[in-house]
């Protein structure tokens, strides 16, 4: 290679190296063709709000073993966390209940099943084990007010998280109805045993005078439901008896015992037990279950007992 050629190659190499270093060291320089530039794009996905459809169950009832069938778009409605039927009962529902009444009168071996639904996020402030059962009981009471016999009504409660209220918190028809046929002359031995157990092991409440609310245990709520069944099926009455210790005047204690019984009765009535099925009385200090000479004993004697006759 001649000196001239080597000289030219050196100049060319210097230019190439200089250009590469310039592009590498200069952030603002543009050295790449447009189609070689990689642009990273960020796509933001906006989630659509979930649309929850309000559940609306109609008043539907069909006898698979008979010729009775009704299907009405309206139903009994409730507010969430509540067991009282909303006042706006449709005339169509009232007419359907009247038809059911006549059918049951003509078929005394038929019984109507009422299953009330509740959601797991609802608050149960009723005296029943769950809101579904409390709602079914409210509908049962309406049926009774329309002339249907309590002996021809069964009530149940069931968890159902597929029912959705509207934006005002109204549940439309959280219920299901069915018709069954019983055998003539059959005796429900299980029910008889259950009612006998209540007589032997009644509900006993201890609360202070002036207390505005009764907090029932889970077991006591179950007993309230069973007491309601005994009243409906056997025609017995609920007996609410108030007791006191022996402190103070005997007449005053009799009055105090009655006030305690009446307080418990009012609580039951507010929770859907028909007032006509409840009888109250006072034993005052006359039936102690513990020693009145001690504070612990007197506290046990200050009680209200709920049972059936």
pLDDT for the residue 280:
98
In 3D space, the residue among 225, 213, 244 whose CA is nearest the CA of residue 131 turns out to be: 225
Are residues 151 and 198 located together in one domain of the fold?
A: no
Same domain, 225 and 251: yes
Asked which of 151, 181, 211 is the last residue of a domain, the reply is: 181
Cα separation, 130 vs 161, whole angstroms: 14
Q: Which of 181, 202, 236 is the last residue of a domain?
A: 181
Please report where in the chains the tokens 């409440």 appear, as a residue.
205
Instruction: Kindly report, residue by residue over 157-216, the tens digit of the pLDDT.
Output: 999 999 999 999 999 999 999 999 988 877 789 999 999 999 999 999 997 766 767 889
Q: With a cut of 50, list the residues of the chain below it in pLDDT.
A: 34-39
CB neighbourhood size of 15 (10 A): 10
Q: What is the pLDDT of residue 7?
A: 61
Closest CA to 163 of 125, 131, 127: 131
**What pLDDT does residue 53 have?**
94
Query: pLDDT at position 170, please?
Result: 98
Q: Does residue 291 lie within any of the structural domains?
A: yes
Same domain, 154 and 86: yes
Output the domain CATH number for residue 147: 3.30.1330.60
The beta strand positions in 200-270, using DSSP E, are 203-205, 238-243
**CA gap 62, 195 in Å, rounded:** 31
pLDDT at 202: 97
pTM equals 0.82
């Amino acid at each position: 290679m001649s000196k001239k050629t080597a000289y030219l190659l050196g100049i060319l190499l210097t230019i190439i190296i200089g250009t590469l270093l310039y592009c590498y060291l200069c952030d603002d320089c543009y050295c790449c063709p447009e189609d070689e530039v990689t642009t990273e794009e960020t796509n933001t996905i906006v989630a659509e709000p979930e649309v929850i459809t309000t559940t609306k169950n109609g008043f539907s009832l069909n006898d698979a073993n008979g010729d009775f069938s009704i299907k009405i778009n309206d139903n009994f409605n409730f507010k969430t966390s509540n067991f009282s039927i909303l006042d706006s009962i449709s005339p169509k529902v009232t007419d359907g209940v009247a038809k059911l009444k006549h059918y049951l009168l003509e078929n005394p071996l038929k019984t109507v099943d009422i299953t009330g639904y509740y959601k797991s996020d609802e608050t149960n402030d009723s005296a029943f084990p769950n809101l579904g059962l409390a709602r079914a009981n409210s509908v049962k009471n309406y049926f009774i007010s329309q002339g249907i016999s309590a002996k021809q009504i069964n009530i149940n409660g069931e968890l159902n998280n597929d029912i959705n209220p509207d934006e005002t918190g109204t549940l439309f028809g959280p219920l299901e109805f069915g018709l069954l046929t019983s055998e003539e002359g059959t005796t429900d031995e299980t029910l008889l045993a259950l009612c006998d157990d209540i007589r032997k092991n009644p509900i006993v409440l201890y609360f202070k005078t002036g207390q505005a609310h009764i907090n029932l245990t889970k077991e006591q709520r179950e007993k309230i439901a069973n007491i309601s069944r005994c009243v409906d099926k056997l025609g017995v009455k609920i007996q609410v008896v108030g007791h006191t210790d022996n402190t103070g005047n005997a007449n005053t204690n009799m009055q105090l015992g009655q006030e305690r019984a009446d307080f418990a009765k009012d609580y039951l009535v507010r929770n859907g037990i028909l007032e006509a099925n409840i009888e109250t009385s006072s034993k005052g200090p006359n039936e102690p279950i513990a020693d009145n000479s001690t504070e612990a004993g007197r506290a046990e004697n200050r009680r209200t007992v709920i049972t059936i006759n």
